Structure 1
Amino acid sequence: MSNTVGASLPVNIGAGDFTIEFWMRYAPGENNSGACTEGGDNWIRGNIIFDRDIFGAPDYGDFGVSLYGGRIAFGVNNGASGQTICGATTLATNQWHHVAVTRRSNGEMSIFVNGALDRRIPSGPAGNVSYRVGRPITDNQWWNEPFLVIGAEKHDYDPNSYPSFSGWVDEVRISNSVRYTGAFTPPNAPFTPDANTVGLYHFDEGGGSTVLDSSGAAGGPSHGQRRFGGSPAGPVYDGVVKRF
């Protein structure tokens, strides 16, 4: 998902509060990153699920989510300091898990797993961590910096040090608010958009290169692109292994 260099799409979150939530599943023997370690930008050493990183120092900020030693890691950097938090729950393999990460502009960071609060700190990096539209890209190698990438380290920089997530991701909703403050019941049906939904991806296309945003957010849509490659080649649509 991307905000183009010349314009900002609704999915360019981080100027204020936000929530990223999704369903995920993975198989035994996959995603073998080491034990989750809090602090700094350590989230990027887990198996990366969401990457809104900036190579080097961001002028506003960046963030990301990974499966790090079987636990969810969530990291935020405001250009001056970074903080990674690690969830307490080891996610069982071959099961669907609902994951939500929330961040307040005052720095509060939270991880929820299957509707339960898994980790929270009140004072992570504060302020604007959105992508600054108009940020100069001086090295053509990092042309993809405006993107929010799902399932990989966005720069394909060093897959051994910054591994991609191997598994299934379904029903991604991105919101410009903190949706959860305490325990909740995860949804049992596909998400429907509301006033705080800025990106909604059902991954029901089944093929092609466009990933459709159905949020209906003003200023959108924030459609994505499926970049296909690698060995074995992916990502692929799986009509059998889906959450809904």
Structure 2
Amino acid sequence: MKHQTPMTCTRRKHTMKVASLTILGMLIFASTLIAQQGSALSFDGSDDRVTVPYDSSFPTEVFTVTAWIKTLPSMGRSAIIARGEDDNSFNLSWQAYVQPDGTLQVMLENQNDNNFCYPFSCMGQPQPTCTFGNLFVADDLWHHIAITRSASGVLVLYVDGQAESTCTQTGVPSSNNFQSLTIGCTHGTIGPPPGGVEPPIWFFPGLIDEPAMWNVALTAGEVSTVFQNGVDPDGAGLVGYWDFDAGSGQPVLDLSVAANHGFLGTDGNLAGDPADPEWVSLDVEFHRADCNADGQTDIADAVSVLNYLFGSGAEPPCGDACDINDDGSLDISDAISSLADLFDPTFPPIPPPHPGCGADPTSDGVNCSAFPPCP
């Protein structure tokens, strides 16, 4: 069961795992909301980008790229991550982008300057070797995208951990490409570039987080694991993982062993430049134990927890506030903790943030998409 947040710079919900537990003969659903704290980068759709200087470890024919994105439909194509046009060969290798209609698309180009787009052709026609699913990702919600291409030419496009399109007999990406990797745009032009330099194009409007790149084609199960649990920095074949959690500064560090570090904008100048995307926080301040978010802690909060677990109560907008004992799940022990805090002075204190507002000091997987009582 997937949950995405509205268009705010908050922590995102990756997914919800629902496990059934029998307690006192009743069925309780303990929800573990996989989430992350930290920051992301906001791209203006005009000139913002992240640049990763070319390295021979960049994959070409066999690859996987993933990222979390949050965007709306735009007037043109919006590149997420790309090995764009080379200044000398005029060849690109591959690029993942969002179409003007809000769907995920991939372009490959071979060494003969032939472009291949999937699952729709570059002219917008369905590719006969592709299957088609729901590739719409421009709805102002967080989506996880993944693209894999195998040695046999099978290209798979995933959205939120699910394979939505599979294409066979795909074009072979050009290896004659020494262009920098770009996040938030690509490079290219029709015909030889002016002055011999391929210009940046297809700027992305919105948020991007945790882009990653492998020199292997991940399996469907491995893509699902990345979607559910995040990228393993020590994973086999990983040659780029930029978690965007620095929150400030020009460097964009690669956490993989390949150490393909990048920088904001067009150069690593610490003073910055106009093409720098903006760091944004994904954390939401909340008050633990104020489950119903009414600005106070009382018996109504325990009732809210129980109503969610056993009744018809909606999923709380701030799971962290209802995870009253901060054990990383929502269950009957949270209602017990709420009541004990109110009526048992010997009960251990509620974990922070309590009794006031603050960010979650623990990264336990429970999410908070909004908490209006806190600034």
TM-score after normalising by structure 2: 0.48
Q: When the two structures are aligned, how many residues end up with a matched partner?
A: 204
Q: Distance in 2 between matches of 1:191 and 1:19?
A: 12
Determine if contact 2:84/2:94 at 8 Å carries over to the other structure: yes
In structure 2, the residue matched to 1:208 is: 249
In structure 2, the residue matched to 1:115 is: 161
Structure 1 residue identity aligned to 2:185: A
Determine if contact 1:175/1:196 at 8 Å carries over to the other structure: yes
Deviation at 1:23, TM superposition (A): 0.7
Within-5 A mapping of 1:39-58? 46-54=77-85, 58=89
Stretch deviating more after TM superposition (52-61 or 175-184): 52-61
Unaligned runs of 5+ in 1: 34-45, 134-145
Select the residue among 256, 262, 266 that pairs with 1:224. 262
Aligned alpha-carbon RMSD (Å): 3.1
Deviation at 1:191, TM superposition (A): 1.6
Deviation at 1:78, TM superposition (A): 1.4
Structure 1 residue identity aligned to 2:253: L
Select the residue among 186, 202, 224 that pairs with 1:184. 224
Q: Distance in 2 between matches of 1:158 and 1:56?
A: 9
Tell whether 2:204 aligns with 1:173. Answer: no
Tell whether 2:75 aligns with 1:32. Answer: yes
Tell whether 2:288 aligns with 1:237. Answer: no
Within-5 A mapping of 1:13-28? 13-14=59-60, 16-26=61-71, 28=72
Determine if contact 2:157/2:164 at 8 Å carries over to the other structure: yes
Q: Distance in 2 between matches of 1:225 and 1:174?
A: 16
Q: Greater helix share, 1 or 2?
A: 2
Deviation at 1:101, TM superposition (A): 0.5
CA deviation vs aligned residue, 1:180-233 (integer Å, no higher than 9, x gap): 3478365344422212111111001112211000012xxx31101111544xx6
Distance 1:2 1:241, change over 3 A: farther
Select the residue among 94, 99, 120 that pairs with 2:140. 94
Q: Secondary structure at the match of 2:278?
A: coil
Tell whether 2:94 aligns with 1:63. Answer: yes
Q: Secondary structure at the match of 1:184?
A: helix
In structure 2, the residue matched to 1:85 is: 118
Deviation at 1:132, TM superposition (A): 4.4
Determine if contact 2:216/2:237 at 8 Å carries over to the other structure: yes
Determine if contact 1:48/1:163 at 8 Å carries over to the other structure: yes
Structure 1 residue identity aligned to 2:282: V
Structure 1 residue identity aligned to 2:251: T
CA deviation vs aligned residue, 1:144-165 (integer Å, no higher than 9, x gap): xx20101023369778xx4311
Q: Of the two, which has the highest radius of gyration? A: 2
Determine if contact 2:95/2:186 at 8 Å carries over to the other structure: no
Determine if contact 1:58/1:78 at 8 Å carries over to the other structure: no
Determine if contact 2:161/2:227 at 8 Å carries over to the other structure: no
Distance 1:76 1:198, change over 3 A: same
Distance 1:229 1:118, change over 3 A: farther
In structure 2, the residue matched to 1:41 is: none
Tell whether 2:45 aligns with 1:2. Answer: no
Distance 1:92 1:132, change over 3 A: closer
Determine if contact 2:85/2:177 at 8 Å carries over to the other structure: no
TM-score after normalising by structure 1: 0.72
Structure 2 residue identity aligned to 1:165: F
Q: Secondary structure at the match of 2:146?
A: strand
